[in-house]
Amino acid sequence: MTLLTVENAHTYYGKIHALKGISLTVEEGEIVTLIGGNGAGKTTTLNTITGIVPTAEGRILLNGDDITHTPAHEIVSKGVVQSPEGRKIFTRLTVRENLEIGAYQRNDSAGIARDMAYVFERFPRLKEREKQLGGTLSGGEQQMLAMGRALMASPRILLLDEPSMGLAPLLVAAIFDVITYLNRENGTTILLVEQNAAMALIVANRGYVLQSGRITHADDADALRNDPTVIEAYLGGH
């Protein structure tokens, strides 16, 4: 079943035409990745889907329902949840308080408690630092907190924006292990924006390549990993 559809989306920042008619789909239970260089439009795509940046043209559908002009907070309540680039945690709040904010639109106390326990199980480092202020955490721990906060919103589809950015290789591997677990064991549908294209295409089912606000390639992850153009541009080919 197609959970998310973007049809011919055009997005502007002032006079800058950031997205130039992109179309993509995410099936329920998939990991789909968006790869591309800096300024390609990857974060803009996620921000357009979540209503942070309005689309000037085109449609966004969630399970067939048009959410193109739905306010951002209502899109979250429908289960489209973003873990943003740069983490953007609340540095003066504790780890637990950051996680509780992720669930602010929910009123199912038993479900919130269950998901809090799940986040602490997946990220035991956060449990150890439950009462610490977010600003005292390492970069990797802050990324775990940002992902945990998104999970507390009980997402139907989780949008991850550069989860490995700035992390040491061991932490990158740990983050991608969690992404794989969330998808395969918990059934979470994921749309992943990632500059580490090699890692992204290992965990993803399918991928799209963005360049200057346009999709230039769309295929299964295996096919993209073996595409000479993608290898040359994004996988360190020569």
* Mean predicted lDDT score pLDDT of the chain: 94
Which residue in this structure is represented by tokens 């153009």? 229
Phi, psi of 159, rounded to the nearest 5 degrees:
-100, 115
* DSSP class of 137: S
- Residue 142 predicted with pLDDT over 90: yes
CA distance 154 to 79: 7
Q: Which of 172, 207, 177 is nearest to 30 (CA)?
A: 207
Whole-number percent of the chain with pLDDT over 70: 99
pLDDT in tens, 42-80: 999 999 999 999 999 999 999 999 999 999 999 999 999
- For 52-61, 119-128, 131-140, 171-180, which range has the lowest pLDDT when averaged over its residues? 171-180
- For 122-131, 154-163, 170-179, 218-227, which range has the lowest pLDDT when averaged over its residues? 170-179
Enumerate the CATH 3.40.50.300 domain ranges in the chain, comma separated.
1-79+155-238
Instruction: Quote the pLDDT of residue 219.
Output: 98
Q: How many residues does the chain have?
A: 238
Beta-carbon count within 10 A of 92 CB: 9
Domain topology for 1-79+155-238: Rossmann fold (3.40.50)
Beta-carbon count within 10 A of 117 CB: 11
Q: Which of 80, 67, 60, 63 is nearest to 159 (CA)?
A: 80
Task: Name the maximum alpha-carbon separation found in the chain.
Answer: 54
Q: What is the mean pLDDT of residues 130-137?
A: 96
Instruction: Quote the pLDDT of residue 238.
Output: 45
Instruction: Quote the pLDDT of residue 87.
Output: 77
Q: Is 189 helix (H, G, I), strand (E, B) or coil?
A: strand
CA distance 108 to 26: 28
Q: What is the mean pLDDT of residues 117-130?
A: 95
- Residue 237 predicted with pLDDT over 70: no
